[in-house]
Amino acid sequence: MAAATPTVSLKPSGGLRRRQIVNKIMELIGWLAALSAVAILFVVIISVAVRAWPALSWDFLTKPPALFGQPGGGISSAIVGSAIIVAIGTAIALPLGVLIGIYLTEFAPRFIAQPVQLVLDILNGLPTIITGIFVYGLLVIGHGQSAYAGAFALSIVMLPLVARAAQETLLLVPSVLREGTLALGVSRWRSVTGVILPTTFGGILTGAVLAVARAAGETAPLLFTCSIFNPAVSTDVTKALPNIPVLIFTYSEQPDKALHEQAWGAALVLMLFVLVSSLLAKALLARSRRKLGR
Amino acid sequence: MMTDDVTIPIDVGPVETAQERRTPAPEQREVVFDVQDLGVTYGSATAISGVNLAIYGNVITAFIGPSGCGKSTFIRCLNRMNDLVAGARVQGALLYHGQNIYGDGVDPVEVRRRIGMVFQRPNPFPKSIYDNVAWGPRVLGMKKGLDERVEKALTRAALWDEVKDRLKKSALSLSGGQQQRLCIARAIAIEPDVVLLDEPASALDPIATAAIEELMHDLKDQYTIVIVTHNMQQAARVADMTAFFSLQVGDGKRTGVLVEYDKTDKLFTNPADKRTEDYVTGRFG
């Protein structure tokens, strides 16, 4: 069939051409902004890695700090201490946070759920230095610093994160699933423990992992509660334990190049832990969404 | 699939081919539900009002009617599923074997224990096929002979032969029709007295629908069955008794009302109300 001669031109003309140029410019600016976020992360990772490089060795990870004035030594006591403090903090915040999430989604009426949610958001935004000084007043004055005081301070930081993550995940559970359980004549609580929670397990774990990653790097709460410690490896939670954030802070203030390098090394270890945790959380979330059929 | 927007005149073909109907004489009827002047409001909107009817034991009762006429709202009253909807309020009395299920001291959990429900969309739990059926009995303390109970429920739901070799597989791996039969097995595994089905076949293909309809016939010797359906032919095929709900429009408000309730044959072939006739002959809806 022979093509008829078009009677209209659909090529851009006049104002449209100008609008298209503006559109292109704005798209470019947006792209640059997104690029800067990615670039910042990479610059941070690379600059920390380069400075940490001289300190890194197997001994660095497995040996406690050297005695005063001696060369070498590592951060094993701080790794152990951080692990203990964060583990205790998680043991407090995780069950409590999950219970809050369950209460908010499954039981609480709106007029209670909304204010509680607001409180959690405020708690999440609370400067951690305030959390630190609060726990200092509550547990440290009169008793001295200890790992459990530090863990308690970290649990306050983690609680809103875990609770909100649990709530968000529980909200993803389709209501037909809830109705399906309740139609069998079981109580709400059995419905939650038997079907709803197992379904959301992955999502709640994701929230927990992110909270752990966040708590592992928190410094301010520990400065007040767990910063004056014996550098040797210890598991005594009634005493202040060495930990990575405070170690980075104190080493970086020492007039000693070797300790500066160790501070960078510890920073790299902490950063890799957070990165791996975040990626793990992402994978867990994807898995749990698949399970929910979304 | 047949829907009720057909425009052809009266189609009662399936009525004649329907399987054995049980429409007991009034004196033989055992009243399972006695609904007295029931109304439901959501906030300021009235979903249904002034519903009076009796549902009889061991027969299949169908609720039909156009979209939004409140038939789903009504069936969800029968096991207090509407309690879960914020703002829903129920007026009137709903007697279940003489006991008002909206009366004082009645626990909705106990109500649902006796009056099971199957929903519009299959909603198997994200567990194994076996655990989907076994979960209810286990939670309710019926742990003795659990394997036999699961097999019996799956057999009654006409699913056993298809799944007996993969009971440990995820229920989500089943087809839609199989999932819906699994939900029926799950509902009957706890030995309820009544099974409510809220448009159980609306998300299924015609073959799966036929399987569900046949299943309902097999189940009615043991259970009282109430079904909501959007599909008139389905009601004509399966139900012994049929209730027709419609919308009453007045001063800008639309309220669901029960128009007519009778034996299915009578309602489809010789309706007493003009609105029923218009609906079953395809003149509206």
**pLDDT surpassing 50 at residue B14:** no
**Is B121 at the interface with chain A, CB within 8 A?**
yes
Residue B27: the pLDDT is 55
Residue A266: the pLDDT is 94
Tell me the C-alpha distance between B122 and A258, whole Å: 65
Q: What percent of chain B is modeled with pLDDT above 90? A: 62
| Mean of pLDDT values over A125-148 | 93
Are B127 and A198 in contact (CB < 8 Å)? yes
Confidence tier at B17 by pLDDT (50, 70, 90): very low
B231: in domain: yes
Interchain CB contacts (distance < 8 Å): A and B = 71
What single-letter DSSP state applies at residue B81? Answer: G
> What interface predicted TM-score (ipTM) does this complex get?
0.82
Residue B18: the pLDDT is 45
Residue A1: the pLDDT is 57
CATH code of the domain containing A234: 1.10.3720.10
A138: in domain: yes
Element at A32 (helix H, strand E): helix A15-52
Sign of CA dihedral B27, B31, B36, B39: negative
- B4 three-state secondary structure: coil
Confidence tier at B99 by pLDDT (50, 70, 90): very high
B18: in domain: no
**pLDDT surpassing 90 at residue A116:** yes
CATH code of the domain containing B118: 3.40.50.300
How many C-beta atoms surround the C-beta of residue B1 within 10 A? 11
**Is B110 at the interface with chain A, CB within 8 A?**
yes
Are A183 and B81 in contact (CB < 8 Å)? yes
Residue A16: the pLDDT is 85
- Residue A83 one-letter amino acid: A
Residue B8: the pLDDT is 46
| Mean of pLDDT values over A13-41 | 93
pLDDT digits (tens, 9 = 90+) for A243-257: 999 999 999 998 888
pLDDT digits (tens, 9 = 90+) for B152-180: 999 988 899 999 999 999 999 999 999 99
Tell me the C-alpha distance between B131 and A252, whole Å: 57
Range of the domain at B165: 30-280
Query: Which residues contact residue B33 at a Cβ distance below 8 angstroms, ignoring those fewer than 6 apart?
Result: B54, B55, B78, B94, B95, B96, B194
Residues 26-45 of B with CB under 8 A from A: none
- Residue-wise DSSP of B102-156: TSTT--HHHHHHHEEEE-SS----SSBHHHHHHHHHHHTT--TTHHHHHHHHHHH
Rounded-to-5 percentages of helix, strand, coil across chain B: 35, 25, 35
| Mean of pLDDT values over A27-36 | 97
pLDDT digits (tens, 9 = 90+) for B21-72: 666 665 567 899 999 999 999 888 889 999 999 999 989 999 999 888 889 9
Identify which of B112, B117, B125 has the shortest CB distance to residue A195.
B125
Minimal CA separation from A230 to chain B, in Å: 50
Minimal CA separation from A158 to chain B, in Å: 29
**Is B81 at the interface with chain A, CB within 8 A?**
yes
| Mean of pLDDT values over A229-253 | 91
Tell me the C-alpha distance between B13 and A16, whole Å: 62
Q: What percent of chain A is modeled with pLDDT above 70? A: 97
**Is B25 at the interface with chain A, CB within 8 A?**
no
A91 versus A70: the higher-pLDDT residue is A91
In chain B, whose CA is at the least distance from the CA of A108?
Answer: B86
Residue B172, token pair as written in the block:
């989500």
Confidence tier at A290 by pLDDT (50, 70, 90): confident
Overall number of domains in chain B: 1
B83: in domain: yes
**pLDDT surpassing 70 at residue B4:** no
A79: in domain: yes
In chain A, whose CA is at the least distance from the CA of B118?
Answer: A180
Identify which of A180, A185, A291 has the shortest CB distance to residue B190.
A185
**pLDDT surpassing 90 at residue B7:** no
Residue B285: the pLDDT is 58
A208: in domain: yes
Are B112 and A182 in contact (CB < 8 Å)? yes
Range of the domain at A255: 58-291
**pLDDT surpassing 80 at residue B80:** yes
Q: Which chain B residues contact residue A293 at CB under 8 A? A: 172
End-to-end alpha-carbon separation of chain A, Å?
A: 48
Half-sphere exposure of A243 (CA within 13 A, CB side): 34
Q: Which chain A residues contact residue B109 at CB under 8 A? A: 182, 185-187
Q: Which chain B residues contact residue A114 at CB under 8 A? A: none
Residue B83: the pLDDT is 85
Tell me the C-alpha distance between A53 and B159, whole Å: 63
B205 versus A288: the higher-pLDDT residue is B205
- B64 three-state secondary structure: strand
Identify which of B112, B140, B172 has the shortest CB distance to residue A293.
B172
Query: Which residues contact residue A88 at a Cβ distance below 8 angstroms, ignoring those fewer than 6 apart?
Result: A147, A148, A151, A155, A237
Are A291 and B126 in contact (CB < 8 Å)? yes
Query: Which residues contact residue A23 at a Cβ distance below 8 angstroms, ignoring those fewer than 6 apart?
Result: none
Q: Which residues pair with B194 in a beta bridge?
A: B115, B224
Residue A244 and residue A231 in contact, taking contact as beta carbons nearer than 8 Å: no
| Mean of pLDDT values over A86-114 | 95
Confidence tier at B20 by pLDDT (50, 70, 90): low
Overall number of domains in chain A: 1
Longest CA–CA span in chain B (Å) reads 59
Mean of the per-residue pLDDT values of chain A:
90
Minimal CA separation from A219 to chain B, in Å: 41
Tell me the C-alpha distance between B145 and B152, whole Å: 11
3-state secondary structure B173-238: HCCHHHHHHHHHHHHHCCCCCEEEEECCCCCCCHHHHHHHHHHHHHHCCCCEEEEECCCHHHHHHH
What single-letter DSSP state applies at residue A10? Answer: -
Confidence tier at B19 by pLDDT (50, 70, 90): low
**Is B125 at the interface with chain A, CB within 8 A?**
yes
| Global model pTM greater than 0.95 | no
Tell me the C-alpha distance between A222 and A282, whole Å: 28
What single-letter DSSP state applies at residue A192? Answer: I
Rounded-to-5 percentages of helix, strand, coil across chain A: 75, 0, 25
B197: in domain: yes
Tell me the C-alpha distance between A238 and A85, whole Å: 11
Q: Which chain B residues contact residue A198 at CB under 8 A? A: 126-127
**pLDDT surpassing 60 at residue B16:** no
Residue B273 and residue B284 in contact, taking contact as beta carbons nearer than 8 Å: no
Q: Which chain A residues contact residue B113 at CB under 8 A? A: 184-185
Q: Which chain A residues contact residue B111 at CB under 8 A? A: 185
pLDDT digits (tens, 9 = 90+) for A185-214: 999 999 999 999 988 888 899 899 999 999
Residue B202, CA distances (Å) to A13, B106, B209 in order: 52, 32, 8
Residue B242: the pLDDT is 94
Minimal CA separation from A175 to chain B, in Å: 10
**pLDDT surpassing 70 at residue A47:** yes
Mutate to test the interface with B, among A110, A169, A184 (most CBs of B within 10 A): A184
pLDDT digits (tens, 9 = 90+) for B107-142: 999 999 999 999 999 999 999 999 999 999 999 998
Dihedral through CA B263, CA B269, CA B274, CA B279, nearest 10?
Answer: 90
